[in-house]
């Protein structure tokens, strides 16, 4: 039992700074301002389930999936960095031109226009890459691969992995539910400011992920 709590605490202290649910909170404030309260809570619940699923799939199937598609850890970091950078640019420099969905909406009949268009942000970007992003996934896959090389995964580690996934998902859910109050306090102009600041930070995060991935590729060539 002592080993269980030791590894549980170690896993939380390792994953939480990388996962950082506060990133998803700011994404929710920036992208979910037009959602109704009920729809926002529904998407938060979906995002919570996605986070838990991504963490578990990354540990138990991440290495197999990446091997099947020939994806390396550096490749995962670079691809994740590009995705995060793209999302950051769209938040920092919101387009003034009508999007494809808005153009299609303009061609609808008046009756169809009354039907609200609901944007689903539960998986992308709240769960991925908001909290269960490339850094979190790469960290989990690396840990799983290291345990496999040490002769297999003991039962206590399986319990810790499931417990950590549940706890991080609950922390993620609590953080996003608390964003409702923040959203009311900030207002539309505040949310726009938060969106642009978070967009800038995401660009920095994305570039750093790409730099880390490229650095690992260069080191691999240097070692070979």
Domain ranges of the chain: 2-223
Q: Which residue has the tokens 């850094």?
A: 135
pLDDT mean over 195-218: 85
Print burial letters for 25-44: b (CB count within 10 Å at least 16), e (below 16): bbbbbbbbbebeeeebeebb
User: Which residue in 2, 23, 17, 9 sits closest to 200, CA to CA?
Assistant: 23
State the angle between helix axes of 21-31 and 37-68 in degrees (0 to 180), rounded to the nearest 10: 130
Integer CA distances (angstroms), 205 to 81, 107, 124, 211, in order: 7, 38, 16, 10
> How many CA atoms does the CB half-sphere of 30 hold within 13 Å?
26
Helix (H) / strand (E) element for 105: namely helix 100-106
pLDDT mean over 116-131: 85
pLDDT tens readout for residues 88-115:
888 788 776 554 444 544 554 555 445 5
The pTM of this model reads 0.74
Considering the chain, what is the average pLDDT of its residues? 82
The top-scoring range by mean pLDDT among 2-11, 46-55, 56-65, 178-187 is 46-55
């Amino acid at each position: 039992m002592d080993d269980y709590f030791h590894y549980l605490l170690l896993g939380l202290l390792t994953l939480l700074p990388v996962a950082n649910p506060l990133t998803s909170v700011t994404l929710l404030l920036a992208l979910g301002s037009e959602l109704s309260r009920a729809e926002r809570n529904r998407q938060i619940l979906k995002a919570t389930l996605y986070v838990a699923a991504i963490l578990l799939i990354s540990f138990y199937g991440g290495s197999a999936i990446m091997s099947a598609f020939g994806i390396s850890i550096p490749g995962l970091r670079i691809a994740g960095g590009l995705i995060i950078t793209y999302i950051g640019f769209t938040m920092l420099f919101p387009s003034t031109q009508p999007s494809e969905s808005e153009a299609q909406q303009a061609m609808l009949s008046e009756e169809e226009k009354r039907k609200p268009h609901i944007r689903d942000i539960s998986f992308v970007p709240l769960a991925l890459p908001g909290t269960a992003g490339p850094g979190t996934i790469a960290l989990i896959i690396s840990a799983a691969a290291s345990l496999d090389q040490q002769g297999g995964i003991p039962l206590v580690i399986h319990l810790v992995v499931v417990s950590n996934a549940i706890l991080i998902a609950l922390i993620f859910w609590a953080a996003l539910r608390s964003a409702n109050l923040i959203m009311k306090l900030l207002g539309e102009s505040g949310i726009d400011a938060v969106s642009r600041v978070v967009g800038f930070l995401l660009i920095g995060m994305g570039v750093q992920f790409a730099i880390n991935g490229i650095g690992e590729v260069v080191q691999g060539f240097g070692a070979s």
